[in-house]
Amino acid sequence: MGWNPTQYLKFAQPRLRPALELLARVDLDAPAVVYDLGCGTGAVTKIMAERWPHAMVTGVDDSSDMLERAASGSPNLRWLRCDVAAWQPRSAPDLIYSNAALHWLSDHERLLPALAACLAPGGVLAVQMPRNFSAPSHLAIGQTVRDGPWRARLEPMLRESPVADPMWYFELLSSLCTQVDLWTSEYFQVLRGDNPVKEWTKGTWLRPFLLALPAHERGAFEEAYARRVAIAYPQRADGSTVLPFQRLFFVARRAV
Protein backbone atom coordinates (compact mmCIF):
# COMPACT_ATOMS: atom_id res chain seq x y z
CA MET A 1 0.00 0.00 0.00
CA GLY A 2 1.28 3.47 -0.87
CA TRP A 3 1.40 5.76 2.15
CA ASN A 4 0.66 9.48 2.21
CA PRO A 5 2.80 11.04 4.96
CA THR A 6 0.90 14.34 4.83
CA GLN A 7 -2.45 12.64 5.43
CA TYR A 8 -1.01 10.40 8.16
CA LEU A 9 0.62 13.33 9.97
CA LYS A 10 -2.59 15.36 10.14
CA PHE A 11 -3.01 13.71 13.54
CA ALA A 12 0.67 13.42 14.45
CA GLN A 13 0.32 14.14 18.16
CA PRO A 14 -2.48 11.68 19.02
CA ARG A 15 -0.71 9.02 16.94
CA LEU A 16 2.57 9.72 18.77
CA ARG A 17 1.19 9.40 22.30
CA PRO A 18 0.78 5.58 22.39
CA ALA A 19 4.20 5.20 20.74
CA LEU A 20 5.83 7.16 23.55
CA GLU A 21 3.87 5.29 26.21
CA LEU A 22 5.11 2.01 24.78
CA LEU A 23 8.69 3.28 24.70
CA ALA A 24 8.44 4.45 28.33
CA ARG A 25 7.80 0.85 29.42
CA VAL A 26 10.98 -0.47 27.76
CA ASP A 27 13.39 -1.09 30.64
CA LEU A 28 16.78 -1.16 28.91
CA ASP A 29 19.75 0.88 30.09
CA ALA A 30 22.26 0.52 27.27
CA PRO A 31 21.07 -1.52 24.28
CA ALA A 32 23.61 -1.85 21.49
CA VAL A 33 21.32 -2.77 18.58
CA VAL A 34 17.81 -1.33 18.21
CA TYR A 35 15.30 -1.75 15.38
CA ASP A 36 12.09 0.20 14.84
CA LEU A 37 9.87 -1.89 12.54
CA GLY A 38 7.37 0.10 10.52
CA CYS A 39 9.04 3.34 11.59
CA GLY A 40 7.06 5.57 9.23
CA THR A 41 8.44 9.11 9.29
CA GLY A 42 10.84 8.15 12.08
CA ALA A 43 9.65 10.37 14.91
CA VAL A 44 10.06 7.66 17.57
CA THR A 45 13.17 6.22 15.92
CA LYS A 46 14.90 9.57 16.42
CA ILE A 47 13.78 9.68 20.07
CA MET A 48 15.32 6.22 20.62
CA ALA A 49 18.58 7.37 19.02
CA GLU A 50 18.67 10.28 21.47
CA ARG A 51 17.74 8.11 24.45
CA TRP A 52 20.46 5.57 23.66
CA PRO A 53 23.26 7.54 21.93
CA HIS A 54 25.67 4.57 22.00
CA ALA A 55 23.21 2.21 20.28
CA MET A 56 22.91 1.66 16.55
CA VAL A 57 19.25 2.47 15.89
CA THR A 58 17.70 1.41 12.58
CA GLY A 59 14.29 2.49 11.31
CA VAL A 60 12.73 -0.06 8.95
CA ASP A 61 9.85 0.73 6.61
CA ASP A 62 8.74 -0.30 3.12
CA SER A 63 7.45 3.16 2.16
CA SER A 64 9.92 5.37 0.33
CA ASP A 65 7.60 8.35 0.88
CA MET A 66 7.65 7.85 4.64
CA LEU A 67 11.42 7.34 4.75
CA GLU A 68 12.01 10.51 2.73
CA ARG A 69 10.37 12.41 5.59
CA ALA A 70 12.60 10.54 8.04
CA ALA A 71 15.89 11.13 6.25
CA SER A 72 17.78 13.05 8.91
CA GLY A 73 19.02 12.34 12.37
CA SER A 74 22.00 11.59 14.60
CA PRO A 75 25.12 9.61 13.66
CA ASN A 76 23.84 6.47 15.42
CA LEU A 77 20.70 6.41 13.28
CA ARG A 78 20.11 4.76 9.91
CA TRP A 79 17.15 3.95 7.69
CA LEU A 80 16.36 0.74 5.86
CA ARG A 81 13.70 0.33 3.20
CA CYS A 82 12.42 -3.20 3.59
CA ASP A 83 9.18 -5.16 3.81
CA VAL A 84 8.76 -5.73 7.55
CA ALA A 85 7.37 -9.22 6.88
CA ALA A 86 10.64 -10.19 5.16
CA TRP A 87 13.00 -8.30 7.50
CA GLN A 88 15.97 -10.08 9.07
CA PRO A 89 18.42 -8.33 11.42
CA ARG A 90 22.14 -8.24 10.65
CA SER A 91 22.90 -8.97 14.29
CA ALA A 92 20.78 -9.98 17.28
CA PRO A 93 18.87 -6.90 18.51
CA ASP A 94 18.60 -5.84 22.10
CA LEU A 95 15.30 -4.18 21.21
CA ILE A 96 12.75 -4.78 18.47
CA TYR A 97 10.18 -2.00 18.72
CA SER A 98 7.08 -1.70 16.55
CA ASN A 99 4.34 0.89 16.91
CA ALA A 100 1.10 0.55 14.90
CA ALA A 101 2.62 -1.63 12.20
CA LEU A 102 2.27 -5.36 12.89
CA HIS A 103 -1.52 -5.38 12.53
CA TRP A 104 -0.91 -4.94 8.79
CA LEU A 105 0.77 -8.36 8.78
CA SER A 106 -1.00 -11.68 9.12
CA ASP A 107 -0.05 -14.92 10.89
CA HIS A 108 0.98 -13.48 14.25
CA GLU A 109 1.32 -17.04 15.54
CA ARG A 110 4.37 -17.39 13.28
CA LEU A 111 5.52 -13.75 13.18
CA LEU A 112 5.91 -13.05 16.89
CA PRO A 113 7.94 -16.20 17.69
CA ALA A 114 10.17 -15.37 14.72
CA LEU A 115 10.77 -11.85 16.06
CA ALA A 116 11.39 -13.11 19.60
CA ALA A 117 13.88 -15.67 18.26
CA CYS A 118 15.88 -12.82 16.68
CA LEU A 119 16.49 -11.12 20.03
CA ALA A 120 19.77 -11.19 21.88
CA PRO A 121 19.63 -12.84 25.33
CA GLY A 122 17.75 -10.46 27.60
CA GLY A 123 16.45 -8.57 24.57
CA VAL A 124 13.03 -6.96 24.42
CA LEU A 125 10.17 -7.10 21.93
CA ALA A 126 7.91 -4.01 22.35
CA VAL A 127 4.76 -3.76 20.25
CA GLN A 128 1.66 -1.58 20.02
CA MET A 129 -1.23 -2.38 17.69
CA PRO A 130 -4.62 -0.73 17.20
CA ARG A 131 -7.54 -2.78 18.47
CA ASN A 132 -10.40 -0.71 17.14
CA PHE A 133 -11.64 -2.88 14.30
CA SER A 134 -15.11 -3.44 15.78
CA ALA A 135 -15.67 0.31 16.23
CA PRO A 136 -18.01 2.26 13.90
CA SER A 137 -15.00 3.97 12.29
CA HIS A 138 -13.87 0.62 10.91
CA LEU A 139 -17.16 -1.23 10.54
CA ALA A 140 -18.39 1.59 8.31
CA ILE A 141 -15.69 0.70 5.79
CA GLY A 142 -17.18 -2.78 5.35
CA GLN A 143 -20.69 -1.35 5.15
CA THR A 144 -19.60 1.09 2.45
CA VAL A 145 -17.84 -1.65 0.52
CA ARG A 146 -20.94 -3.89 0.50
CA ASP A 147 -23.37 -1.10 -0.33
CA GLY A 148 -22.01 0.11 -3.65
CA PRO A 149 -21.11 -0.77 -7.23
CA TRP A 150 -17.54 -1.55 -6.14
CA ARG A 151 -18.54 -4.48 -3.90
CA ALA A 152 -17.19 -7.30 -6.10
CA ARG A 153 -13.81 -5.58 -6.40
CA LEU A 154 -13.36 -4.40 -2.81
CA GLU A 155 -15.03 -7.09 -0.70
CA PRO A 156 -12.08 -9.52 -1.01
CA MET A 157 -9.92 -6.84 0.67
CA LEU A 158 -12.00 -6.84 3.85
CA ARG A 159 -10.38 -8.53 6.83
CA GLU A 160 -11.73 -9.60 10.15
CA SER A 161 -9.92 -8.09 13.08
CA PRO A 162 -6.19 -8.61 12.46
CA VAL A 163 -5.46 -8.30 16.20
CA ALA A 164 -6.42 -11.18 18.46
CA ASP A 165 -7.68 -11.14 22.02
CA PRO A 166 -5.11 -9.80 24.53
CA MET A 167 -5.03 -13.10 26.42
CA TRP A 168 -4.06 -14.90 23.19
CA TYR A 169 -0.96 -12.72 22.95
CA PHE A 170 -0.18 -13.19 26.63
CA GLU A 171 -0.24 -16.98 26.33
CA LEU A 172 1.83 -16.95 23.13
CA LEU A 173 4.46 -14.56 24.49
CA SER A 174 4.65 -16.29 27.87
CA SER A 175 5.74 -19.45 26.08
CA LEU A 176 8.58 -17.53 24.41
CA CYS A 177 9.77 -14.99 26.97
CA THR A 178 10.50 -14.87 30.68
CA GLN A 179 8.71 -11.56 31.31
CA VAL A 180 5.57 -10.26 29.62
CA ASP A 181 4.06 -6.85 30.36
CA LEU A 182 0.77 -6.61 28.44
CA TRP A 183 -1.95 -3.99 28.67
CA THR A 184 -4.71 -2.26 26.73
CA SER A 185 -5.74 1.39 26.64
CA GLU A 186 -8.67 3.28 25.21
CA TYR A 187 -7.89 6.82 24.11
CA PHE A 188 -10.66 9.36 23.71
CA GLN A 189 -9.14 11.35 20.89
CA VAL A 190 -10.50 14.89 20.67
CA LEU A 191 -10.33 15.79 16.99
CA ARG A 192 -11.21 18.95 15.10
CA GLY A 193 -12.06 19.80 11.54
CA ASP A 194 -14.62 18.69 9.01
CA ASN A 195 -15.45 15.01 9.58
CA PRO A 196 -12.12 14.32 11.31
CA VAL A 197 -12.83 10.62 11.89
CA LYS A 198 -12.99 10.15 8.13
CA GLU A 199 -9.73 12.05 7.82
CA TRP A 200 -8.16 9.88 10.56
CA THR A 201 -9.00 6.58 8.88
CA LYS A 202 -8.14 7.99 5.46
CA GLY A 203 -4.52 8.04 6.64
CA THR A 204 -4.56 4.35 7.58
CA TRP A 205 -7.29 1.67 7.31
CA LEU A 206 -9.44 3.40 4.68
CA ARG A 207 -6.55 4.19 2.37
CA PRO A 208 -6.13 0.78 0.63
CA PHE A 209 -9.79 0.81 -0.42
CA LEU A 210 -9.51 4.29 -1.91
CA LEU A 211 -6.34 3.34 -3.78
CA ALA A 212 -8.02 0.26 -5.22
CA LEU A 213 -10.67 2.36 -6.96
CA PRO A 214 -10.33 4.39 -10.16
CA ALA A 215 -10.40 8.15 -9.68
CA HIS A 216 -14.00 8.52 -10.87
CA GLU A 217 -15.28 6.18 -8.11
CA ARG A 218 -12.92 7.17 -5.32
CA GLY A 219 -14.78 10.33 -4.40
CA ALA A 220 -18.14 8.58 -4.25
CA PHE A 221 -16.78 5.87 -1.96
CA GLU A 222 -15.17 8.43 0.35
CA GLU A 223 -18.38 10.47 0.51
CA ALA A 224 -20.48 7.39 1.30
CA TYR A 225 -18.10 6.43 4.10
CA ALA A 226 -17.97 10.02 5.37
CA ARG A 227 -21.75 10.13 5.79
CA ARG A 228 -21.69 7.00 7.95
CA VAL A 229 -18.94 8.14 10.31
CA ALA A 230 -20.39 11.64 10.60
CA ILE A 231 -23.53 10.03 12.07
CA ALA A 232 -21.56 7.64 14.30
CA TYR A 233 -19.26 10.43 15.58
CA PRO A 234 -21.29 13.65 15.71
CA GLN A 235 -19.63 16.99 16.16
CA ARG A 236 -19.98 18.43 19.65
CA ALA A 237 -21.25 21.93 20.45
CA ASP A 238 -17.69 23.23 20.79
CA GLY A 239 -16.79 21.99 17.29
CA SER A 240 -14.79 18.96 18.45
CA THR A 241 -15.39 15.29 17.65
CA VAL A 242 -14.46 12.50 20.07
CA LEU A 243 -13.02 9.26 18.65
CA PRO A 244 -12.65 6.46 21.23
CA PHE A 245 -9.75 4.30 20.09
CA GLN A 246 -8.50 1.07 21.69
CA ARG A 247 -4.90 -0.13 21.52
CA LEU A 248 -3.01 -3.24 22.65
CA PHE A 249 0.54 -3.05 24.05
CA PHE A 250 3.10 -5.60 25.13
CA VAL A 251 6.73 -5.60 26.21
CA ALA A 252 8.26 -9.09 26.32
CA ARG A 253 11.79 -9.96 27.43
CA ARG A 254 13.75 -12.96 26.18
CA ALA A 255 15.58 -15.10 28.71
CA VAL A 256 19.19 -14.15 29.46
pLDDT per residue as tens digits for the range 175-205: 999 999 999 999 999 999 999 999 999 988 9
Query: Which residue type does 4 have?
Result: N
CA atoms of 94 and 132, how far apart (whole Å):
30
Structurally, how many domains does the chain consist of? 1
Q: In Å, how far are 3, 134, 142, 198, 217 from 145, measured between CA atoms?
A: 21, 16, 5, 15, 12
Neighbours of 29 (CB within 10 A): 5
At 64, the pLDDT band (50, 70, 90 cuts) reads confident
When pLDDT is averaged across residues 3-30 and rounded to a whole number, the result is 77
Q: Radius of gyration over alpha carbons of the chain, in Å?
A: 19
Q: Are 130 and 15 in contact (CB under 8 A)?
A: no
* Angle, vertex CA 190, rays to CA 185 and CA 193, nearest 5: 140
The residue range of the domain holding 224 is 5-253
Given this model, what pLDDT does residue 2 score?
55
Residue scoring higher pLDDT (239 or 71): 239
Q: What is the value of pTM for the model shown?
A: 0.91
- CATH code for position 210: 3.40.50.150
Is 181 in contact with 124 (CB distance < 8 Å)?
no
Angle formed at CA 66 by CA 64 and CA 68, multiple of 5 degrees: 65
Residues 31 and 256 sit within 8 Å (Cβ to Cβ): no
